Structure 1
Amino acid sequence: MSEDVYAARGYGAKGVGFGEKPGLVVVDFQTGFTDPAFPMGGAPLVDRALDNTVRLMRAAKAAGAPIIACVIAFDGPKGAPHWKVPPVLDLLAGTAGTALDPRIAAEGPDVVLTKTAPSIFFGTAAGAILTRERVDTVIVTGCITSGCVRASIIDAFSLGFRVQVPEDCVGDQDQAAHDQNIKDVGRRYADITTADAMIAKLEEWRTSNSR
């Protein structure tokens, strides 16, 4: 019933669409969130998202779309915002939890940025890099759906990019939080899609640009 209330008021009535040039952002697929040895690592939804993102990165690279990855890391305790999640504060620069997951690193993202806030765009060069590359459509992948991914989606939207979110390329600690946030950003800021659909779009874009 609540979804009908949103729909009745026009939420989600218009799609964002795929523009002239895509770029891929990969948010926080670092060992602190992907490796079960760490307190925040090993969530099944995150592992699923990482595997699908690897496939998407390969398609983006083959198409010539830029790929920007990021990790969250702090130079020291005073460099961190007021996070309410103690394990996040353990992500000090140079420690094991701040390394890109080896599966992501192996795909060779074009740029790897370090951030201290939730969004890949806040206090980083991500927006400027994508603008320089003439990207108008940002595909958002990574973790955590309800946290840094959501913040990145909102910032990409606020910067004027068309935002595409393949649902199976983002992951959360909790299924309900994942589902709720995917549904909500889909009402407001982004088109919700899948890895397979985005791979097909990248191939279509590659083909159209090779003529």
Structure 2
Amino acid sequence: MSEEIFDLELLQKMFKRAKEIHTERGFQKRVGYGKKPGIITVDLANAWTKPGHAFSCENMEEVIPNVRRVLDAAREKNVPIFHSTTGYNPNGYQDIGRWADKIPLDELKLGEDWLDIDERLNPQKEEVVFVKKTASCFNGTPLQYWLTTHGVDTLIVVGATACACVRHTCMDSTELGFRTIVPEGTIADRVPGAVEWNLFDIDAKFGDVDPLDTVINYLKGIDTIQKRDVTANSV
């Protein structure tokens, strides 16, 4: 169905011309990589990664293995990893906001398996899993505090969806002073063209969208990060 209504070749022609315009005007510069990365997986819970839910996304058979490659490379160097999911209290939905006037947030019920991080990502016990209520992983959460505590200067963003939660997380990441990196092939959405368009625009304005192997090679090339000993300074 998607192939019948979506012409990727035409979109790529549009991007080529748009990139020329951006470059001529000084857009699409590179932020580059720092010395201490962190990873945020955006809503890679079952409701987004598996079929049968209102929030189910396309191309997960490609996205999940690619994200797993990023995570495995990061784990080898003790890079801090954070996983977000989005959910609401079904007993009255007092924690739901105006966003629910536009999209079916009531389908994201706290306590259901749909909100669990996809087991194919093999989340580790030391990796933080947190619930957010809005699009950005930063809005109303301690994510910035956690990243700062770990000394993170480069945030690698993977997940869903390109047009909302990934995009807003990238925007906030850059505005909070982090070098923002998005690996190609690690972003999903429900609508044809949404990934391509939003990655193009993120790369033009908010962060670097780089080839998957470039990001993995960066992770493999950094010094192993010493894990924080939270008991060392206890009183």
In the superposition, the TM-score normalised over structure 1's length comes to: 0.91
Count residues in correspondence.
205
Partner in structure 2 of residue 72 of structure 1: 86
In structure 1, give the amino acid aligned to 2:45. Answer: Q
RMSD over aligned Cα, in angstroms?
A: 1.7
The reply on whether 1:4 has 2:12 as its aligned counterpart is no
Query: In 2, Cα distance between the equivalents of 1:208 and 1:96?
Result: 33
Report Cα offsets for 1:66-100 as digits up to 9, x if no partner: 000010011242211223122x3211110222111
CA contact (8 A) 2:87 2:133 kept: yes
Larger Rg: 2
Query: In 2, Cα distance between the equivalents of 1:195 and 1:107?
Result: 20
Instruction: Structure 2: state its 5+ residue gaps.
Output: 1-16, 227-235
Query: In 2, Cα distance between the equivalents of 1:85 and 1:208?
Result: 40
In structure 1, give the amino acid aligned to 2:40. Answer: V
Q: Aligned-pair distance for 1:118?
A: 0.5
Partner in structure 2 of residue 53 of structure 1: 67
Alignment of 1:1-211 (within 5 A): 1-12=17-28, 14-44=29-59, 46-76=60-90, 77-83=93-99, 84-86=102-104, 88-104=105-121, 106-108=122-124, 110-206=127-223
Instruction: Structure 1: state its 5+ residue gaps.
Output: none
Q: Aligned-pair distance for 1:21?
A: 0.4
Query: In 2, Cα distance between the equivalents of 1:129 and 1:207?
Result: 19
CA contact (8 A) 1:32 1:41 kept: yes
Q: Aligned-pair distance for 1:31?
A: 0.7
Query: In 2, Cα distance between the equivalents of 1:118 and 1:208?
Result: 30
Of all paired residues, the percent bearing the same amino acid is: 30
Query: In 2, Cα distance between the equivalents of 1:174 and 1:51?
Result: 20
Query: In 2, Cα distance between the equivalents of 1:48 and 1:124?
Result: 29
Report Cα offsets for 1:30-85 as digits up to 9, x if no partner: 111111121322512x3422221111111101011100001001124221122312
CA contact (8 A) 2:157 2:182 kept: yes
Q: Aligned-pair distance for 1:101?
A: 1.1
In the superposition, the TM-score normalised over structure 2's length comes to: 0.82
